[in-house]
C-alpha cells in the first residue's frame, strides 16, 4: 500500500488550521449557558463518530473513493474528540464533588 504524502500533508495542515482556530480560549457571553455548549460538544463528537463509522464501512465494502488514510485520520479525530469530552466530564464531576463537599 502506497501512502500519498501530499494528501497526508494537506490533511495535517488542515488539522493544524482547525487546532489554531480552537486555541484561543474565549469566555462565553451571558447569552450562552454551559448546558448548551456541552450539548453542542457532545453532538459534534457524536457526528464525528458517525462519519468515521460511515467511512470505515465504505472502506470495508471496497469503496475506491475512500482511502485507508482518510479512515485512520477520521478515527483519530473522533477518538481525540471523545477523549477530550471525557476529560471535560471528569473535571465537571470533580468540580461538582468539590462544591458539594464544601462546608456551608
> What's this model's pTM, rounded to 2 decimal places?
0.62
pLDDT in tens, 52-93: 999 999 999 999 999 999 999 999 999 999 999 999 889 999
- Please tell me the distance from the alpha carbon of residue 35 to that of residue 48, in angstroms, as a whole number: 20
pLDDT in tens, 31-47: 678 788 888 889 999 99
Distance of CA 80 to the CA centre of its chain: 5
Instruction: Please report the pLDDT score of residue 1 as a whole number.
Output: 47
Q: Which has more confidence, 15 or 50?
A: 50
Would you kindly state where each structural domain of the chain is located, as residue ranges?
34-104
Q: Which has more confidence, 48 or 4?
A: 48
Amino acid at each position: 500500500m502506497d501512502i500519498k504524502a501530499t494528501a497526508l500533508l494537506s490533511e495535517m495542515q488542515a488539522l493544524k488550521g482547525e487546532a489554531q482556530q480552537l486555541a484561543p480560549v474565549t469566555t462565553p457571553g451571558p447569552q450562552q449557558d454551559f448546558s448548551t455548549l456541552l450539548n453542542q460538544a457532545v453532538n459534534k463528537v457524536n457526528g464525528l463518530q458517525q462519519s468515521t463509522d460511515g467511512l470505515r464501512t465504505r472502506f470495508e465494502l471496497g469503496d475506491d473513493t475512500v482511502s485507508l488514510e482518510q479512515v485512520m485520520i477520521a478515527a483519530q479525530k473522533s477518538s481525540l474528540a471523545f477523549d477530550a469530552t471525557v476529560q471535560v466530564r471528569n473535571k465537571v464531576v470533580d468540580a461538582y464533588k468539590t462544591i458539594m463537599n464544601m462546608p456551608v
